Amino acid sequence: MKSLTYADVNEGDELPPLDVPITRTAIVAGAIASRDYQDVHHDAELAKARGSKDIFMNILTTNGWVGRFVTDWAGPSAILKKVAIRLGAPNYPDDTMLMTGRVKSKSDDGLIEVEIKGENSLGDHVVGTVSLVLPS
């Protein structure tokens, strides 16, 4: 995979969209991998007892998808400096999250800021910005 350079990127550039299938396995595996053992991420009956319609993806798994989305576009030489996200609608099983993004800004010190959004059938699951640097 080729890495982008700072010169390859322009303000307003759109990132290629990414469809993320939301499966029970993905939700549970993400929670286990991030050591988040809250029952709402693996036990449907307890999640329902707590007022949720089902288990749902945790923020650490979402954060991982955000990082992957940006680095799939930028390439392996990208260095993520800051990821600032906010969650909205839950990612429930049997849905798809569509990730989209665009380059918001480029600074003279080499920092690139990308706006991202992950949307599912209920609305925006995640919105935020990722700051990164690329090789010159």
6-22+57-133 architecture in CATH? Answer: Roll (3.10)
Q: What is the pLDDT of residues 82-113, one digit of tens each?
A: 999 999 999 999 999 999 999 999 999 999 99
pLDDT at 1 exceeding the cut of 90: no
With CA atoms as reference, report the closest residue to 61 among 128, 126, 134. Answer: 126
Extract the tokens encoding 121: 């059938």
Tell me what the mean pLDDT of segment 121-128 comes to: 98
DSSP 54-77: S----HHHHHHHHHHHHHHHH-TT
Yes or no: say if 126 and 66 are a contact pair by the CB < 8 Å rule.
Answer: yes
Q: How is the chain split into domains, by residue range? A: 6-22+57-133
Yes or no: say if 127 and 88 are a contact pair by the CB < 8 Å rule.
Answer: yes
Yes or no: say if 130 and 64 are a contact pair by the CB < 8 Å rule.
Answer: no
Cα separation, 134 vs 136, in Å, equals 6
pLDDT at 125 exceeding the cut of 80: yes
pTM of whole model > 0.85? Answer: yes
Q: What is the pLDDT of residues 35-82, one digit of tens each?
A: 999 999 999 999 999 999 999 999 999 999 999 999 999 999 999 999
